[in-house]
Structure 1
Amino acid sequence: MASPNVQTVLVTGATSGIGAEVARQMVARGHRVYGTSRNPDTVADPIPGVTYVRLDNADYASADSCAAEVGDVDILINNAGESQAGALEDTPMSAVEDLFTVNVFGPIALTKAVLPGMRTRRRGTVVMVGSMLSSFPVAFRSNYAATKSALKAYALATRREVAPYGIRMISVEPGTIATGIGDRRSIHIADGSPYAAEYQTLAAATRRNEDEGIDAATMASVIVDAALADHPKPFYAKGNRAEIVFLLRRLLPRQVILDFTARKHGLPRVSI
């Protein structure tokens, strides 16, 4: 059940996709909502009731500034991030480091900035929005999957660490979402790469899967319900028949699941 009290909610990446829908739904439920943007003064389609504040995940100092501007945060939704694909061999280390900065270190910096206030008030909720690619990794998405796995590990490990102070840590894994994120994904395939043909196969399948994915509002409702729950579970997943595939993941050998995930993305099984 949702708390009847008005809470202050900070949603990162609130200008589009899942973040925008989470912000919209939190406003609809009567909460005080702040949404982050790298350029809050130029938000193209502001959501009524949302106050936009500056945050750049790649700028750790902006996390402290954002937290100071918002004040006491009851619920933090770490949603902002970037997508990346390509062959590991073809991806420069600078790109790997940049992705971890935006998808992992930035959210951790913001979490660290709000935790002292939550601990002092002895209440608070932090939601890490990951990806089902963490639980079901696929070729050519290694770096992205690794960043989302890191967020999940932070949430699950820190859950007990902060629980004595009334703080709840939650990990949420969306499946394939129809948000158009594929149009903003950075790609790393070198000219003449031996991986090019298989990457193109995966990219085409990924596009089809994303076009058929669940909508952002449906995923956002899972995040909102989890964040407002009296006793939230440590982990939630939605999309890609999550209830079935996570059951199969527990029952079947790991290689079978990896082969199934590859086929879902257009790649044939390879025996090694």
Structure 2
Amino acid sequence: MSKVVLITGASSGIGKSIATVLSDKGYKVYGTSRNPKNLEKISFKLIALDVLKVDTIQRAVDLVIQKEGRLDVLVNNAGMGITGPLEDTPTDEMRAVFNTNLFGAIDVMKAVLPQMRSQQSGLIINVTSIAGYMGLPFRGLYSATKGALEIVSEATSMEVKQFGINVVNIAPGDFATNIAEGRYHTPVFENSAYKKTYQSNLDLMDAHVDEGMHPKEMAKAVFNIINTKKPKIHYKVGKFMEKFSIILKRILPDRVYEKLLMNHYKL
């Protein structure tokens, strides 16, 4: 029996790639988008869901269950980026990215868990970020949202294990997607104390995305996780140095690691 998969944020980038690959492999895939009518030529069903609106989340989950009678996998992929110096970034924009990346993902998990509990099986894959393992300059709020989702996933994994449900994280590094277009960019203010360093780091971030891996690598990783009988809690998908940076943080003194990051970001 083909597994039924719900993927948030499937209109572009990593989410679209995951939905396409899984659909091509025979899964019954429902992708979501805030504006599903804007997407054409796809191999999976696209339905409306806005992670900031609980009623749309519940309607989308109910629709999948009504049509398929079950829900086997949730890929919590919808999210947004944010950049800027802490001092210059509006606090309301900080709250907005937490609402999307953390609380939005939590609300989708809460919507699918009753069905997964009733069928005594299920898999939740939360898309986090390698950036969530460390505080990155001018991306601290983004790192914080993804790090928080990692921790919430760890706790939820233990809570739902008794119902036959697995919760895992998959943390991508830099991927060649249009994520930069959807970020909230704090403007480079003319009178900002961070004008020079922030601008140079914005240029560096864009270069990293342009040189990033193809989204299909994330799709392959998700496919492998779905087909693993006993999945791990944490997965990382990225270039060697991106993944190695997590190991370095564990073994190096804090200030030594900080100095490495500052050298990398030319601070």
Q: TM-score, normalised by structure 2?
A: 0.93
Name the SS of the counterpart of 1:237 in structure 2.
Answer: strand
Counterpart amino acid of 2:85? A
Unaligned regions of 5+ residues in structure 1, if any? none
Q: Which residue of 1 aligns with 2:24?
A: 28
Please tell me whether the aligned partners of residues 2 and 28 of structure 2 are also in contact (alpha carbons under 8 angstroms). Answer: yes
Counterpart amino acid of 2:213? I
Q: Which residue of 2 aligns with 1:240?
A: 239
Q: Which residue of 2 aligns with 1:19?
A: 15
1:210 paired to 2:209: yes
Q: Give 4+ residue runs of structure 1 displaced > 3 Å after superposition.
A: none
Aligned-residue offset at 1:243: 4.5
Aligned-residue offset at 1:240: 3.2
Unaligned regions of 5+ residues in structure 2, if any? none
Q: How do residues 90-129 of structure 1 correspond to structure 2 at under 5 angstroms?
A: 90-129=88-127
Q: Which residue of 1 aligns with 2:149?
A: 151
Please tell me whether the aligned partners of residues 15 and 46 of structure 1 are also in contact (alpha carbons under 8 angstroms). Answer: no
More displaced 10-residue stretch of structure 1: 16-25 or 191-200? 191-200
Aligned-residue offset at 1:191: 4.3
- Provide the rounded CA distance (Å) in 2 between the counterparts of 1:88 and 1:146: 12
Identity across the alignment (%): 34
1:59 paired to 2:53: yes
CA gap 1:137/1:224 in 2 versus in 1, 3 angstroms: farther
Please tell me whether the aligned partners of residues 97 and 142 of structure 2 are also in contact (alpha carbons under 8 angstroms). Answer: yes
Q: TM-score, normalised by structure 1?
A: 0.91
Please tell me whether the aligned partners of residues 76 and 126 of structure 1 are also in contact (alpha carbons under 8 angstroms). Answer: yes
Q: Deviations over 1:49-76 (max 9, x none)?
A: x111111111122111111111121100
- Provide the rounded CA distance (Å) in 1 between the counterparts of 2:54 and 2:41: 25
Name the SS of the counterpart of 1:133 in structure 2.
Answer: helix
Q: Which residue of 2 aligns with 1:257?
A: 257
Name the SS of the counterpart of 1:177 in structure 2.
Answer: coil
Q: Deviations over 1:175-195 (max 9, x none)?
A: 111112123321114441111
Counterpart amino acid of 1:9? V
Counterpart amino acid of 1:147? T
Q: Aligned pair count?
A: 261
Counterpart amino acid of 2:56? S
- Provide the rounded CA distance (Å) in 2 between the counterparts of 1:147 and 1:99: 7
- Provide the rounded CA distance (Å) in 2 between the counterparts of 1:76 and 1:262: 37
Aligned-residue offset at 1:157: 1.1
Q: Which residue of 2 aligns with 1:192?
A: 191
- Provide the rounded CA distance (Å) in 1 between the counterparts of 2:55 and 2:47: 14
- Provide the rounded CA distance (Å) in 2 between the counterparts of 1:262 and 1:183: 25
Aligned-residue offset at 1:252: 1.4
Name the SS of the counterpart of 1:126 in structure 2.
Answer: strand
2:131 corresponds, among 126, 130, 133, to 133
Please tell me whether the aligned partners of residues 63 and 106 of structure 1 are also in contact (alpha carbons under 8 angstroms). Answer: no
More displaced 10-residue stretch of structure 1: 251-260 or 89-98? 251-260
Name the SS of the counterpart of 1:89 in structure 2.
Answer: coil
2:42 corresponds, among 44, 47, 59, to 47
Q: Deviations over 1:78-127 (max 9, x none)?
A: 00111110011111121111111111111111110000110111100001
More displaced 10-residue stretch of structure 1: 235-244 or 108-117? 235-244
